[in-house]
Amino acid sequence: MAVTVRYALPILNGRVAPLPTSAETLLLVDRENGGCLTDQVPLEDPTIVDILALLRECGADVFVCCGIDRSARGDIAAAGIEVMENVACSAAEAIAAIGDERLQSGFGLYQDALMSRGSGAGSGTQAATARHAAECLVFGGQSCPGADHCPLGEAAVAEEGEWAHTMLEASLDVVLERERQLCRLSEVVYFCLEMKYRTLGIAFCSDLEEPARIAATVLKRFFTVVGVCCKTGTGHPQKSPRPCNPLGQARVLNLARCDLVILIGLCVGADCVLTKACKAPVTTLFVKDRVLANNPIGAVYSNRYLKETLRARPSA
């Protein structure tokens, strides 16, 4: 007697949606004797409650998703529906994998990329390391199962120099406080004091000049502070728009012999250039996000901005 297993997949732009609630359709895939029959149910800004009700109504056996929070996962599992998570692929790839019984949690995150890359290097150790790196994104939201015996961590420790040990020790002194009382700005101060730094550089975006000035007044109580705007050396102040000059910023900070460079609001790309060009170590204090009130982490919890990001296209 043939047994049919029904899979339900939230789909956005032809791929498994990053969050179930960001999906535009729910793809139903029935696997029977190696073959697949599909159907789609339209969704309109669904909640997890809506999705769970639909899964029950459709008689789903397995819910396939990418990211999902613990509460939603628990509710779906409590309804007797298996949750297969961290799946990142197109709908067509998922259907093919269901037909071949290859679909599993983590599908698409690493099988075609990291695992083959590790195997192609001709080293069993490299392949195992690649698999372990991928599993860091597939452990289901629980504590890392390989924390005590992580091949990545062991390799990193072996390659560290004395400078890294010193810096990490200072970092631990700050982050292992018994009660969380230090904001990010305070952590920077305590870390720099632990490291016995004297001169700090601030590379800031002109859009965040006010918070950069306030941060500088705090830091000047403890250190010599050298600030440099992203528009440095780019021409007349009234000319608009003026390009950013991260190389110029790095040049100024290198000449000042800064012990540490602090980034405040530099654009994506400009921060990469400056970080590469700076001789001193670099840390980020504030990140600029013009849409999300300088809180970019909000995008991964927003259906609207996830959809917007997934619709992005490269410029011509």
DSSP letter for each residue of the chain: ----EEEEEEEETTEE-SSGGG-SEEEEEEEETTEEEEEEEE-SS--HHHHHHHHHHHT-SEEE-S---HHHHHHHHHTT-EEE----SBHHHHHHHHHTT---TTTTTSIIIIIHHHHHTT-HHHHHHHHHHHHTTTSTTS--TTGGG-HHHHHHHHH--HHHHHHHHHHHHHHT-SS----HHHHHHHHHHHTT--EEEEEE-GGGHHHHHHHHHHHTTTSEEEEEETTTTSS-TT-SSPPP-HHHHHHHHHHTT-SEEEEESPPTTHHHHHHHH-SS-EEEEE---TTTTT-GGGGGG-HHHHHHHHT-----
Write the CA distances from 55 to 64, 72, 75, 105, 305, integer angstroms.
11, 13, 12, 19, 25
Cα–Cα nearest to 265, from 202, 217, 312: 202
Please report the pLDDT score of residue 129 as a whole number: 54
**Whole-number pLDDT of residue 67:** 86
Amino acid at 278: C
pLDDT of residue 69: 85
Contact by Cβ (8 Å): 228, 200: no
Other residues' Cβ atoms within 10 Å of the Cβ of residue 150? 18
For the entire predicted model, the pTM comes to: 0.72
pLDDT of the residue at 243: 85
Helix count (H) and strand count (E) of the chain?
12, 10
Low-confidence ranges of the chain (pLDDT < 50): 112-122, 140-141
Q: Which of 1, 42, 25, 45 is nearest to 304 (CA)?
A: 45
How does strand 15-16 pair with strand 260-264? unpaired
Q: What is the pLDDT of residue 126?
A: 56
DSSP bridge partners of 15: 12, 90
Q: Is 13 left (phi over 0), alpha (psi -120 to 50) or beta?
A: left
Question: What's the token pair of residue 220?
Answer: 């000047």
Distance CA 101, CA 119 (A): 23
